[in-house]
Amino acid sequence: MTAPVSCGTIHGVGLGPGAPDLLSVRADRLVRGARHVAYFRKAGRPGQARRIADGMLRADVIEIPMEYPVTTEVPVRDPRYNARLSAFYAECTKRLVALAQAGEDVVVLCEGDPFFYGSFMHLHARLSGVVPINVVPGITGMAGAWNATGLPITWGDDVLTVAMATLPEDELARRIRDTDALVVMKIGRNLPKLRRAVVAAGREDAAWLVEYAAMPGQRVTRLAEAESVTPYFSILLIHGQGRRP
């Protein structure tokens, strides 16, 4: 009689903002030792998480690319967007559960931190209570961005707000106006709207745009001087100027 196979663990591993040497020791160990490695990517692209891990994976690794069925082709508020992504995450979960129940550990590569606006959160919600799951924290992209400016993001009692550029323009302006320090993510094609909101809040002179933080091609510019539409890996910052000794 064959002995039952013990269940494997799904590891959501934070890779940090983009540089391989910014992984934690634990993340590095798991990535280098994994036989099964899964990661999200856009169809036809290698994927940022996979790029970070390039050169770290063992020779016999089994890669599991999980390709988004939709990114910007369908508006986020369109019911089809959630429906297609929900089915996608359910299928990814099914694949990972099958591996874990066969006794295999799987490392899911996650940009930044797995629990900070990452796709892994949607897997975690579906995997919890089904198979063992472990999360390894990572340095967030926004931390990489404010360190790229060479300035502290908060002082003393400063309140830090993290907002998405996908918010309505008037809501963006209100949040920009009402906070001490600011991080705005998911910029992309929303840059013109974001710029107008920053100007409306009277904070254009304090705003910085960081592109590809901690990655090749990192660029730091004042928002007032930025002209082109920024790529996916871009973050807007306004530094707090609060209490200090």
Q: What is the pLDDT of residue 76?
A: 63
Q: What type of residue sits at position 227?
A: E
Quote the radius of gyration of the chain (alpha carbons, Å): 20
Asked, for residue 194, whether it belongs to a domain, the answer is yes
What CATH number is associated with residue 119?
A: 3.40.1010.10
Inform me whether the pLDDT recorded for 173 exceeds 90.
Answer: yes
Number of domains in the chain: 2
Judgement on whether residues 45 and 161 belong to the same structural domain of the protein: no
Asked, for residue 243, whether it belongs to a domain, the answer is no
- Residue finishing a domain among 97, 122, 139: 139
Q: What is the pLDDT of residue 43?
A: 87
How many CA atoms lie less than 13 Å away from 238 in the CB half-sphere?
Answer: 28
Judgement on whether residues 118 and 25 belong to the same structural domain of the protein: yes
Q: What is the pLDDT of residue 81?
A: 78
Asked, for residue 244, whether it belongs to a domain, the answer is no
Q: What is the pLDDT of residue 32?
A: 98
Judgement on whether residues 186 and 119 belong to the same structural domain of the protein: no
What CATH number is associated with residue 191?
A: 3.30.950.10
Q: What is the pLDDT of residue 72?
A: 58
Judgement on whether residues 32 and 124 belong to the same structural domain of the protein: yes
Q: How many C-beta atoms lie closer than 10 Å to residue 93's C-beta?
A: 19
**Mean per-residue pLDDT for 173-179?**
98
For the stretch 58-71, pLDDT in tens is 999 999 999 999 76
Judgement on whether residues 153 and 175 belong to the same structural domain of the protein: yes
Judgement on whether residues 78 and 131 belong to the same structural domain of the protein: yes
Token pair of 103, please? 């006794």
Range of the domain at 77: 10-139
Phi, psi at residue 232, to the nearest 5°? Answer: -60, -40
Asked, for residue 104, whether it belongs to a domain, the answer is yes
Q: What type of residue sits at position 204?
A: E
Inform me whether the pLDDT recorded for 2 exceeds 60.
Answer: no
**Mean per-residue pLDDT for 134-158?**
97
Q: What is the pLDDT of residue 82?
A: 86
Asked, for residue 3, whether it belongs to a domain, the answer is no
